[in-house]
Amino acid sequence: MRAEVVAVGTELLLGDVVDTNSAWIGRQLAEAGIDSHFHTQVGDNVERIQVALHVALGRSDAVVVCGGLGPTPDDVTREALAGVLGVELVHDDTVLERIRRRFEERGRRMAPSNERQALVPRGATVIEQRRGTAPGLICPIGDQVVYVVPGVPHEMTEMVERAVVPDLERRRGGRAAILSRVLRTWGEDESALAELLAPRFEALDASGNPTLAFLASGIEGVKVRITAKAATADEAASLLDAEEAEVRAILGDRVVGVDHETMEAVVGRLLGDAGLTVGLAESMTGGLIASRCSEVPGSSAWFRGAVVSYASEVKFGLLDVPEGPVVSEPSAAAMATGARSVLGADVGLSVTGVAGPETQDEMPVGTVFVGIALDGEVAIEHLRFGGDRTSIRRMAGSAALDLLRRRLLDRSAVAAAV
Amino acid sequence: MRAEVVAVGTELLLGDVVDTNSAWIGRQLAEAGIDSHFHTQVGDNVERIQVALHVALGRSDAVVVCGGLGPTPDDVTREALAGVLGVELVHDDTVLERIRRRFEERGRRMAPSNERQALVPRGATVIEQRRGTAPGLICPIGDQVVYVVPGVPHEMTEMVERAVVPDLERRRGGRAAILSRVLRTWGEDESALAELLAPRFEALDASGNPTLAFLASGIEGVKVRITAKAATADEAASLLDAEEAEVRAILGDRVVGVDHETMEAVVGRLLGDAGLTVGLAESMTGGLIASRCSEVPGSSAWFRGAVVSYASEVKFGLLDVPEGPVVSEPSAAAMATGARSVLGADVGLSVTGVAGPETQDEMPVGTVFVGIALDGEVAIEHLRFGGDRTSIRRMAGSAALDLLRRRLLDRSAVAAAV
């Protein structure tokens, strides 16, 4: 099964926008074990979109088209697709009704131009729109298939995960099953993981199945992807289970979660299991950790809130941090106990540091202190990160959550041993 | 003159790396007035690179190939190109000498594998390598031309500016410039903007220059892109200035910022201009607004911090919100004044609402209250959003920042009038 991606938008060709959608879709395809040999970007132009579609259908089984589904005259993906399919565009009343409702939910009236978004090539299956107004489309052409999804990233990602990848997997179904599983790790870079896992690479080289691959993923750490092929999905899953056990035996608690389980979701699960709540004191991360925690569905059970103490006076006043350098161990400790106390939480987690571009308190850019107040003790970690301001802030957030994760794992191991 | 970009690298297809090179090259081509209708990404595979080259040469005058020039066996762009040109690869002694010297400068000995980087298709012109070890190539094929540059961004950019764009301009003769500018808007969707700007579309249709296009961008609102062509960059810039003025006259304060200026950066600029600081009280947005504010370089001048009051008791205790339903006007008002007071800020901005999936305080999912405490007054807005939990949280954050932006604009207009 081969699928390729066609991203539509003149802004991509002009370099006004970097095409992150194709990379994201490429990753989903790879994780689903679907080969992808080409990505193409094309402008908002009917003929050129059709050229791109014909070229893609000439060499792949499936094409995922992304973008050009808006309500304005420059959004012409629907027209281009209908031409390639050789069918007319028809109004879909169900789609139109959903668009109308979306506007009503926001207390607005739908503009007439939005009716264009309810146009569907005859015979196409609609992917319900849940985040925006444009629906997605599934259009079979003989043995092949074209998917169309919106170009707005958060609309696109939701639709690809919910409808496109499952449909591709279903279509591939008859053939051998290719399953993959992603183990999310934190704390080692790609080359260190490769050295640790060298015995597994050697062992697997003989059979070539399953395979291991690494995927450096920024704040999500390094992902280790296990891919297994077998006659049935059950057999492939058994191969994955066995290899996951081997990898976990080597990597231990460096493995954070599996597949889509994020660091913050794992921390939330561990807190929930222990019957604990957490409160944050964020300085250099400025709310990044809070926004990640509050994004987890059901987080109100364990997330109390945060004090984002960006100004030093907020640390001194609200968190009762002693006056002095705020990028320091004592400050991190006071922030953690202060957060626990003012937010009424069982655990206080604090981050203070220097994101740059300037140094602070004579500490170099990239310096980070993390504090964890729990069970009457305060533990402090001193970390260092490279990269630019954005990168340092993001990595510090993940590192702080990881320290809390390890602390909770140790605590439950001790409890289990008692 | 039409040129297209082919980026080589399996990592681009797998989504391990986002292809920023093609966007950058696309921008250089646009600024030089060279049309670019397609970009393609292809893996490290001789046959597939050749397919991509044949497709590109079938529809464009020039192709800029980027990547696959390294010393390892998976770097096969040279081999693929020689096949398409129908010539053999020969060692270029001058190139080899420069590679050797590059290693000597770094106190290293050249590895034998680097000799591959001195292979040049017979008849090609070499673009001297100045930053890395791989040279670039200029390969005419009849009236057409293929350029090859390394995939390492800082090697690529230097070579494209020094050799590729000038060679393209020489082949085309003369020079035209295509410039674009993006006006970021908030508060209207694409179709409503299209209706407002209908007179401009009509006025521009006659000349076809400049052109207008829309880009729905989620939490960044809808972007209006103006693109102008002219004989020189100065003339194109004048066309952009004139059209920007026309668009602004119609859209007024719906225009948030220009090009890469984000909503939070604009709010920060307006706060800075007024000599004000802001403190946040975030409930349903859970730190999203704080993380956006703290991401702006220099935000410590105007951003005091935030109280993320995810648990109701944090609102009652820390922010002095009266007990009762927390998704309500009185709660938003108390949160805004509470944030201003406990964070020692001039302005308090609060957001409370229902992100879902469950309703809260008998309010439907998507309900949002925003409070702004400033100049002894508290203004409350009641908003509604559709979509899922993630979408509602993100849009509520942008909407809250936009309300503060408008409030600050009104305030400075009043001050200017007095």
CATH of domain A263-417: 3.90.950.20
Q: Which residues of B touch A111 (CB under 8 A)?
A: 189, 191-192, 194-195
Which one-letter DSSP state was computed for residue A375? T
Which H/E stretch holds residue A206?
helix A198-207
On whether any CB of chain A is under 8 Å from the CB of B14, the answer is: yes
CA distance A3 to A160: 13
Q: Would you state the pLDDT for residue B175?
A: 61
> Does the pLDDT value for residue A393 go beyond 90?
yes
Give the pLDDT band of residue A175 (cuts 50, 70, 90): low
Contact B338, B351 (CB under 8 A): no
Question: B107 to chain A nearest CA, in Å?
Answer: 24
> B63 pairs with which residues across the strands?
B4, B146
On whether any CB of chain B is under 8 Å from the CB of A154, the answer is: yes
> Does the pLDDT value for residue A273 go beyond 70?
yes
Contact A228, A32 (CB under 8 A): no
Q: Which residues of A touch B14 (CB under 8 A)?
A: 26-27, 30, 36, 215
SS3 A69: coil
Q: How many CB atoms are located within 10 Å of the residue B93 CB?
A: 9
Q: Would you state the pLDDT for residue B242?
A: 97
Q: Would you state the pLDDT for residue B309?
A: 94
- Region A150-161: mean pLDDT is 95
Q: How many CB atoms are located within 10 Å of the residue A314 CB?
A: 24
Evaluate whether the domain defined by B177-258 bears CATH number 2.30.30.100: no
Q: Which fold has domain B265-417?
A: Maf protein (3.90.950)
CA distances from A192 to A185, A223, A244, A257, B191 (A): 12, 13, 18, 19, 51
On whether any CB of chain A is under 8 Å from the CB of B185, the answer is: no
Pairs of CB atoms within 8 A across A/B: 298
On whether any CB of chain A is under 8 Å from the CB of B297, the answer is: yes
Residue to mutate among A5, A6, A14, A110, with most B CBs inside 10 A, is A14
> Structural domain boundaries of chain B?
3-172, 177-258, 265-417
On whether any CB of chain A is under 8 Å from the CB of B366, the answer is: yes
Contact B402, B220 (CB under 8 A): no
Give the pLDDT band of residue A286 (cuts 50, 70, 90): very high
E strand residue ranges, B55-191: 62-66, 89-91, 119-121, 125-127, 136-141, 144-149, 177-185
Q: Would you state the pLDDT for residue B174?
A: 62
Q: How high is the mean pLDDT of chain A?
A: 92
Q: How high is the mean pLDDT of chain B?
A: 92
SS3 A213: strand
Q: What percent of chain A shows pLDDT beyond 70?
A: 99
Tell me which chain A residue has its CA closest to the CA of residue B192: A111
> Does the pLDDT value for residue A174 go beyond 60?
no
Backbone φ, ψ for residue B112 (5° rounding): -55, -35
> Does the pLDDT value for residue A233 go beyond 80?
no
- Region A80-85: mean pLDDT is 96
CA distance A344 to A278: 9
> A251 pairs with which residues across the strands?
none
> Does the pLDDT value for residue A28 go beyond 80?
yes
**Which top CATH class is B3-172?**
alpha beta
Q: Which residues of B touch A215 (CB under 8 A)?
A: 14, 16
CA distance B66 to A118: 40
Q: Which residues of B touch A343 (CB under 8 A)?
A: 311, 314, 318
> Does the pLDDT value for residue A142 go beyond 60?
yes
Are B13 and A55 in contact (CB < 8 Å)?
Answer: no
List, in order, residues 6 or more apart from A376 with CB less than 8 Å away.
none
Q: Which residues of B touch A73 (CB under 8 A)?
A: 194, 201
List pLDDT tens digits, range B155-178: 899 999 999 999 998 898 766 778
Whether B177-258 shares its CATH topology with B265-417 is answered: no
Residues of chain B with pLDDT under 50: none
Q: Which residues of A touch B16 (CB under 8 A)?
A: 27, 215-216
pLDDT winner (highest mean) among A29-33, A287-291, B313-317: A287-291
> B368 pairs with which residues across the strands?
B353, B383
Dihedral sign for Cα A203, A206, A212, A214, please: positive
Q: Convert B383-404 to b/e letters by CB count within 10 Å (16 or more is b).
A: bbbbbbbbbbbbbbbbbbbbbb
CA distance B77 to B10: 12
Contact A369, A332 (CB under 8 A): yes
- Region A82-100: mean pLDDT is 94
Q: Would you state the pLDDT for residue B231?
A: 86
CA distance A130 to A316: 45
